[in-house]
Amino acid sequence: MGEFDNKEREEVFSKKVRAGKRTYFFDVKATRSGDYYLTLTESKKRLEDGVFVKHKIFLYKEDFEKFAEGLNETVDYIKNHQEVVEKRYEYSENHEGAVKGNNDDYSF
């Protein structure tokens, strides 16, 4: 088998997060040897042609700690240096994100 055979592995776990005009997918997959890894996918619909554009990051378990440290440090920096207005989005039939007001805390 070639390196790219069965490129899309079966998902072990998946979490979908809708946030306004973007959707994020957190998918756990397994290598051939059974080791889990994470794919982070951002999906956004282009207004001009309706095509979904996706950006994907593969994150392997040996990098989880350093990745989480970097993400948390970066998020903390933004929160400490600029007001972050957190919004909860509600998915609608016409695929537009409507803001639903509430004061939930979305801390990492």
- Domains and their CATH numbers in the chain: 11-81 (3.10.450.700)
Distance CA 53, CA 94 (A): 18
Query: Which letter, b or e, does each residue of 70-101 get, where b requires 16 or more Cβ atoms within 10 Å of its Cβ?
Result: eeeeeeeeeeeeeeeeeeebeeeeeeebeeee
pLDDT tens-digit profile of 32-84?
899 999 999 999 999 899 999 999 999 999 999 999 999 999 999 999 999 87
In this prediction, residue 27 has a pLDDT band, given cuts at 50, 70 and 90, of very high
| DSSP code at position 82 | S
Name the strands in the sheet holding 11-19, side by side, starting at the edge strand that comes first in the sequence: 11-19, 22-30, 36-45, 52-60
pTM for this predicted structure = 0.67
Mean pLDDT, residues 72-101: 71
